[in-house]
């Protein structure tokens, strides 16, 4: 048993090293592609304005007990019996957490696909980070990179991913995002629905919003197999052989539809969004959709924050 364990460990190390080298070698191409895609979206975008630390006046609001006294605007406060604070603009400075699934199942690719699921996931994650940072957001990767608004966010993400020695999980690790945060999960979502639901419930417990995207290869959508086919599960669950694979198609499609319906039910319950993206479709389509959804969610959060604050005084 000891000898077998040593052999298995060596195989695992060699396999992980090979995948790491392949990912590192592909990273420059992925970075260039993500920047090209991001550039098509960034053009004409402007940061979403919200109260916070910025250059320009935003609004007056009532002074809250416990705040530093130097924040009081004495000129405005002299007009009546209340103390007021002069708030300034904030260019959408809440945090967006992006989770790119890098588990073994993401390496799969079929002939019609433009990229593997892993490559497409990284391209979209990098491009989305670039677009959001240009718009004033802070970007983090759960368990891998602290939030940053640095203009070299793609390089930072790429370095963190290449040098990550941890086991590559399908779903993000447990952490407590702030209530104004948003989470973007990019994964093939072939994990058990109970596990996916548990992860989303934990991440949403603080009030954070989320966007779940299933990245799939076209072969996983259409099941184009026939004849005798051996299907191998890439994450160690074994293999199964179909004598006539085409007879499995109907059952497969039903199971996929049920799996997705259960995930969508969970996202709907939490107020999150759910989308499906095929790797034979342009990455720009998904990037634009995500940007619109994050923008809509951020605007809603900003309005709610303003509405729940103390009474607002008139502008000067």
Task: Tell which phi-psi region holds residue 236, choosing left (phi > 0), alpha (psi between -120 and 50) or beta.
Answer: left
pLDDT(229) > 80: no
CATH number of 28-47+92-306: 3.40.50
What local confidence, expressed as pLDDT, does residue 78 receive? 87
- The pLDDT score that the predictor gives to residue 125 is 92
Query: Tell me: the pLDDT tens digits for 89-136?
Result: 443 347 999 999 999 989 888 887 778 899 899 999 999 998 888 888
Residue 209 three-state SS: strand
Q: What local confidence, expressed as pLDDT, does residue 2 receive?
A: 37
Residue 151, pLDDT > 60, answer yes
What is the pLDDT of the chain when averaged over all its residues? 78
Q: Who has greater pLDDT, 80 or 184?
A: 184
Domain ranges of the chain: 28-47+92-306, 52-90
Residue 7 pLDDT level (bands cut at 50, 70, 90): very low
Tell me, what's the pLDDT at 199? 96
Mean pLDDT of 190-202: 95
Q: What is the pLDDT of residue 256?
A: 94
pLDDT above 90 (res 276): yes
Q: What is the pLDDT of residue 112?
A: 75
Tokens found for residue 168:
């590559």
Coarse DSSP helix, strand, coil percentages of the chain, rounded to the nearest 5 percent: 45, 20, 30
Give residue 102's pLDDT.
93
Backbone φ/ψ region at 143: left (φ over 0), alpha (ψ -120 to 50), beta: left
300 pLDDT higher than 90? no
- Write down the pLDDT at residue 11: 63
Residue 203: band (very low, low, confident or very high) from pLDDT cuts 50, 70, 90: very high
8 Å CB contact between 193 and 263: yes
Q: Is 120 in contact with 132 (CB distance < 8 Å)?
A: no
Picking from 76-80, 83-87, 201-205, 291-295, which range would have the lowest pLDDT averaged per residue?
A: 83-87
**Does the pLDDT of residue 294 top 90, yes or no?**
no
Condensed to tens digits (0 to 9), the pLDDT of residues 49-79 reads 444 444 455 567 777 665 667 778 888 888 8
SS3 288: helix
C-beta of residue 45 within 8 angstroms of C-beta of residue 55: no
pLDDT value of residue 53: 47
């Amino acid at each position: 048993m000891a000898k077998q364990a040593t052999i298995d460990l060596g195989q695992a190390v060699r396999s992980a090293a090979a995948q790491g080298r392949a990912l590192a070698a592909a990273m420059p191409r992925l970075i260039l592609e993500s920047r090209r895609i991001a550039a098509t979206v960034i053009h004409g975008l402007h940061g979403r304005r919200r109260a916070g630390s910025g250059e320009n006046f935003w609004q007056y609001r009532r002074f809250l007990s416990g705040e530093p006294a130097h924040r009081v605007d004495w000129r405005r406060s002299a007009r009546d019996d209340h103390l007021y604070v002069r708030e300034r603009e904030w260019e959408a400075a809440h945090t967006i957490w992006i989770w790119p699934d890098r588990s073994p199942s993401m390496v799969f690719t079929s002939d019609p696909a433009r990229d593997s699921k892993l490559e497409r996931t990284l391209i979209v994650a990098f491009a989305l980070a670039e677009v959001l940072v240009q718009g004033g957001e802070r970007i983090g990767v759960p368990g891998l990179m602290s939030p940053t608004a640095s203009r070299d966010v793609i390089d930072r993400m790429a370095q963190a991913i290449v040098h990550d020695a941890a086991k590559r999980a399908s779903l993000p690790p447990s952490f407590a995002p702030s209530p104004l945060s948003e989470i973007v999960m990019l994964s093939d979502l072939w994990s058990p629905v109970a596990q996916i639901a548990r992860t989303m419930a934990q991440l949403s417990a603080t009030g954070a919003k989320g966007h779940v995207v299933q990245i799939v290869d076209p072969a996983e959508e259409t099941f184009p197999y026939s004849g005798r086919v051996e299907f191998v599960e890439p994450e160690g669950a074994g293999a199964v052989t179909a004598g006539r694979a085409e007879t499995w198609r109907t059952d497969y499609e039903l199971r996929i539809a049920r799996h997705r319906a259960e995930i969508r039910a969970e996202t709907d319950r939490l107020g999150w969004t759910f989308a499906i993206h095929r790797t034979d479709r342009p990455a720009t389509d998904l990037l634009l959709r995500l940007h619109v959804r994050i923008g809509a969610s951020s605007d809603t959060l900003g309005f709610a924050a303003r509405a729940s604050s103390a009474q607002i005084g008139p502008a000067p």
